[in-house]
C-alpha cells in the first residue's frame, strides 16, 4: 500500500514538473504578446515610486542655507534615498531597454526610437542621482537637485507621450492596437516622440509600432 502511495506521489511530482517546464517555455511569448501595455503598467508604478522617493530625498537634504558654500556632507538618509532612486531608475531603464530590443526584433523602428529615448532618460536620472549623492557644498547640491528634477519631469513626460490613452483604446476582436506617431504637445527638444493609440486590422497597416492583439470574445 505504501509503495503504491509513493508511486502516485512520484508520478504527481513528474506531472507537475512537466507542467511547470511547459509553462516556463510559454511565458516569454505570452508576455511579449501583451507588450507594451504590460510594461506600461509596471512603468507607471515605478515612476510613481520614483517621484515618492524624490520627495523623500528632498526631505533628507541637510538644512543648510540655500546658495551658500557651506558644506553639505552626505547624510545616511540622503545616501539611502539616493540608493533607492538609483535602483528604481535602473529598473525603468531595464524595462525600456527590453522594449527597445523587442521592437528591434520586430523591425519597427519607431518603437525602437521611442523606448531608446526612454531608456536614455532613465539612465540620465541615475547619473543625476549619483551627482546629487556626491555633492559636497550647498550650491552643488542645489544645482544637482534642479537637474534631477528636470530629468525626472522629462522622463515622466516621455512615458506619458508613449502611453497616453492606451487604456482607452477599444478595438474590434482580432484587430491590433497600434501606436501612430504624433508630435508631443511638450515643446522641449527630444520629447517629440509620442503615440496616438488606435486600431488596425493587420500589423503591417501600423506605421508606428504595434501593441497587443485584441482576442476574440469567448463564448
Q: What is the DSSP string of 4-32?
A: HHHHHHHHHHHHHHHHHHHHHHHHHHHHH
Under a CB-based contact definition with an 8 Å cutoff, are residues 74 and 133 in contact? Answer: yes
Can you tell me the distance from the alpha carbon of 6 to that of 114, in angstroms, rounded to the nearest whole number?
A: 55
Q: For residue 45, what is its C-alpha cell?
A: 508604478
Query: pLDDT per residue over 8-66, tens digit each?
Result: 444 444 444 443 334 334 445 566 789 999 999 999 999 999 999 999 999 888 555 44
108: three-class secondary structure by DSSP: coil
Say what the pLDDT of residue 20 is.
Answer: 36
Say what the pLDDT of residue 185 is.
Answer: 56
- Please list the pLDDT of the chain residue by residue as tens digits (219 residues): 545 454 444 444 444 444 333 433 444 556 678 999 999 999 999 999 999 999 999 988 855 544 455 555 566 888 999 999 999 999 999 999 999 999 999 999 999 999 999 999 999 999 999 999 999 888 999 999 999 999 999 999 999 999 999 989 999 999 999 999 986 655 455 556 899 999 999 999 999 999 999 986 544
- Which among 189, 190, 188, 186 is positioned nearest to 164, based on CA atoms? 186
Is the CATH code 3.30.70 the one for domain 34-164? no
Domain ranges of the chain: 34-164
Residue spans of beta strands (DSSP E) within the chain: 176-182, 194-200, 209-213
Under a CB-based contact definition with an 8 Å cutoff, are residues 102 and 35 in contact? Answer: yes
147: three-class secondary structure by DSSP: helix
Say what the pLDDT of residue 9 is.
Answer: 47
191: three-class secondary structure by DSSP: coil
Bridge partners, residue 178, by sequence = 198, 210
Q: What is the dihedral of CA 46, 48, 49, 50, to 10 degrees?
A: 90
Amino acid at each position: 500500500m505504501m509503495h503504491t502511495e509513493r508511486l502516485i506521489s512520484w508520478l504527481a511530482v513528474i506531472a507537475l514538473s512537466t507542467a511547470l517546464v511547459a509553462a516556463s517555455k510559454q511565458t516569454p511569448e505570452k508576455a511579449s504578446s501583451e507588450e507594451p501595455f504590460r510594461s506600461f503598467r509596471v512603468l507607471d508604478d515605478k515612476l510613481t515610486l520614483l517621484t515618492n522617493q524624490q520627495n523623500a530625498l528632498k526631505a533628507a537634504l541637510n538644512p543648510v542655507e540655500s546658495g551658500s558654500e557651506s558644506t553639505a556632507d552626505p547624510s545616511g538618509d540622503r545616501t539611502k534615498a539616493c540608493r533607492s532612486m538609483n535602483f528604481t531608475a535602473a529598473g525603468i531603464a531595464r524595462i525600456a531597454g527590453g522594449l527597445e530590443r523587442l521592437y528591434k526584433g520586430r523591425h519597427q523602428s519607431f518603437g525602437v526610437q521611442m523606448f531608446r529615448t526612454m531608456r536614455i532618460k532613465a539612465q540620465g536620472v541615475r547619473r543625476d542621482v549619483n551627482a546629487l549623492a556626491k555633492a559636497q557644498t550647498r550650491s552643488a547640491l542645489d544645482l544637482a537637485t534642479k537637474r534631477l528634477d528636470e530629468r525626472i519631469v522629462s522622463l515622466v513626460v516621455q512615458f506619458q507621450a508613449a502611453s497616453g490613452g492606451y487604456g482607452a483604446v477599444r478595438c474590434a476582436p482580432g484587430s491590433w492596437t497600434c501606436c501612430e506617431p504624433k508630435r508631443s504637445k511638450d515643446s522641449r527638444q527630444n520629447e517629440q516622440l509620442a503615440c496616438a493609440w488606435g486600431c488596425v486590422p493587420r500589423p503591417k497597416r501600423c506605421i508606428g509600432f504595434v501593441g497587443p492583439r485584441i482576442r476574440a470574445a469567448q463564448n
